[in-house]
């Protein structure tokens, strides 16, 4: 298995990977090819894929504002889980963030995603109970069911 930086031409296989993972929380705008290409252009050093035998089996997006980072859409193929791929992807993100001088990363996991929450807890990401997560859409976003 190889961990490498994500490229814009990885979009098709990565989108297929995301769609194979229940509960990803995708939408038609941000997670479109144009949306992901723009994200990669802004964050060229912190987004990774895992390849096994030339096939993408894992992916993670991470962006930052110069002081804090946010991790998005971490996914490993359901057929390839429990092999350390997710841990390796997150490790690549953490190494990249340290190189960039970023001191903290955050992420959102759906409360109902027990496996996802357990994964992040094992990696040392603690639950913040002192915060309320809020968002506001400026355009209509259509959810893509996974």
Burial state string for 104-114 with b = 16 or more CB within 10 A and e = fewer than 16: ebebebeeeee
Long-range contacts of the stretch 132-136 (C-beta < 8 A, 24+): 133/108
d(CA 48, CA 92): 7
Could you please state the CATH topology (level 3) that the domain comprising 2-126 is classified under. Aminopeptidase (3.40.630)
Task: Report the alpha-carbon distance of residue 5 to residue 24 in Å, rounded.
Answer: 21
pLDDT digits (tens, 9 = 90+) for 112-146: 888 889 999 999 999 999 988 888 888 888 888 76
pLDDT digits (tens, 9 = 90+) for 76-124: 999 999 999 999 999 999 999 999 999 999 999 988 888 889 999 999 9
Tell whether pTM > 0.75.
Answer: yes
Percent helix, strand and coil across the chain, each to the nearest 5: 35, 25, 40
């Amino acid at each position: 298995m190889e961990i490498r930086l994500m490229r814009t031409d990885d979009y098709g296989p990565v989108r297929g990977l995301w769609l194979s993972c229940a509960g990803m929380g995708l939408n038609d705008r941000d997670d479109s090819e144009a949306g992901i290409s723009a994200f990669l252009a802004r964050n060229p050093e912190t987004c990774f894929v895992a390849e096994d035998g030339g096939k993408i089996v894992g992916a993670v997006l991470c962006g930052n504002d110069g002081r804090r980072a946010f991790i998005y859409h971490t996914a490993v193929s359901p057929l390839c889980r429990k092999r350390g791929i997710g841990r390796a992807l997150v490790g690549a993100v953490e190494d990249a963030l340290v190189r960039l001088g970023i001191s903290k990363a955050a992420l959102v996991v759906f409360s109902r995603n027990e496996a996802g929450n357990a994964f992040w807890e094992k990696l040392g990401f603690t639950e913040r109970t002192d915060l309320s997560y809020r968002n506001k859409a400026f355009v209509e976003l259509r959810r893509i069911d996974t």
